[in-house]
Structure 1
């Protein structure tokens, strides 16, 4: 079941602005809490967790039940109502990760000379669905929509694979690692698993000359409304000292883009720590 972040739907993106409608903001918080909860919550539970007067919670829940946004169960607890699914389905129809990617990439001006790409996973490969190539990148390193590359070598591929268990990865690569593209390409399953442990620990992935000599890529996953990876975003630069001198800023940038895109796709970024970081 697709669960939308209700607070994100109702609240302005600028947290410093006061809510325009306190009742609407409180109603969104109730829906958000019910959506997050592993069990069914009562009026008292909602009042305590949200620090809202029980009388106010009662009035808000009554309205939400009338609107079919909540269902009151026989034990006087609440669950999400059918109207939520209508919003959820509409959100799915209207959301396109490639379109959302295009909407944010021109806002990222901190990495001049970088190439930004978006991929989806297809088995042991990643498929490029969007790319903004740097004007300064060499033609042999240009990314194209529809291009396929081995997931084991690419930054976005490693980000995808980090969400799988070691057992699942061994099953996926039962035929072995693809033929190396460069002398730096990972050669064995065991070496790949070691890299993926670092990705899970650090929250980002790195392809350092594994796809093309002279190029380094940093990647992270884009999550959907179920907090599952649906795309990978990567920043690629030439391997010169000036371009990658500040790795910390580059990594922070790609993780921020992944987080923003995940947020637009309905992910609960706070629940996973940060977009691109597998929940373990």
Structure 2
């Protein structure tokens, strides 16, 4: 992996196209080693082999670049919005992205009330099946794709309330689709309830998830509705700033159907 990254860096900063011999010489590695690594990088579309047998950056790099830019933008908007948010005192609010079967937190504002039970921090990973933002992401997939993503089964439960099997998870996701919000009812940490919603991009596809977490004992029914309304409002505002067309409703995804185009 390290040598692959070094090759990518070398090709990226070079002012002329590099051959296999150039790469091996510049990095002081065997030509056979350079050939093996470059072959892998080409197959992953991280490099392109030109007709003259030199290399240039491949299209997959742009996908990473676009993802980084989008995630950075949504994190900035999230921070700006939270600075203006005054309706959820004592709440922890998080922003995460989906990576495989996990969510990765890219921003978090922890409250003292939740901090003693779980500390959310940028870079932290959690199983998508248990988290409010993860469930929000998964609800945009078909049941078929969720089963495929979790083909090896669900991760070990974090609490006694963590969802235990794929069928139960699919039932939860169906409720998310109907209700327009997701809920982690003490599935990540005992005593903490999280409500989540998706942040959509200009193609109305989920690019992030926002969640609000509060101690379970501080959420009576009236408070619960207010929290849900706020997390939906925050997700809607973020989606609007990311270019989503919120007047166009996507069809519900059930039983392996594909998302509405």
Cα pair distance change 1:197/1:96, threshold 3 Å: same
Structure 2 match to 1:118: 95
Structure 2 match to 1:149: 126
Structure 1 contact 117–128 (Cα < 8 Å) conserved: yes
Number of matched residues?
186
Residue in structure 1 matching 2:141, options 159, 164, 168 = 164
State the alpha-carbon separation in 1 of the partners of residues 127 and 215 from structure 2: 20
Cα offset, 1:172, TM superposition: 0.3
Structure 2 match to 1:202: 179
SS at match of 1:142: coil
Check if 1:109 corresponds to 2:80. no
State the alpha-carbon separation in 1 of the partners of residues 243 and 204 from structure 2: 8
Cα offset, 1:94, TM superposition: 11
Please report the TM-score for the alignment, with normalisation by the length of structure 2: 0.67
State the alpha-carbon separation in 2 of the partners of residues 93 and 261 from structure 1: 12
Q: How does 1:1-280 map to 2 (within 5 A)?
A: 96-241=73-218, 245-272=222-249
SS at match of 1:233: strand
Cα pair distance change 1:184/1:267, threshold 3 Å: same
Cα pair distance change 1:109/1:244, threshold 3 Å: farther
The alignment's C-alpha RMSD in Å is: 2.1
SS at match of 2:79: helix
State the alpha-carbon separation in 2 of the partners of residues 107 and 279 from structure 1: 34
Structure 1 contact 95–265 (Cα < 8 Å) conserved: no
Cα offset, 1:241, TM superposition: 3.9
State the alpha-carbon separation in 1 of the partners of residues 259 and 228 from structure 2: 19
Structure 2 match to 1:26: none
Structure 2 contact 113–215 (Cα < 8 Å) conserved: no
Cα offset, 1:93, TM superposition: 7.8
Moved over 3 A (4+): 92-95, 241-245
Unpaired runs of at least 5, structure 1: 1-88
Structure 1 match to 2:254: none
Please report the TM-score for the alignment, with normalisation by the length of structure 1: 0.63
Cα offset, 1:138, TM superposition: 3.2
State the alpha-carbon separation in 2 of the partners of residues 236 and 249 from structure 1: 13
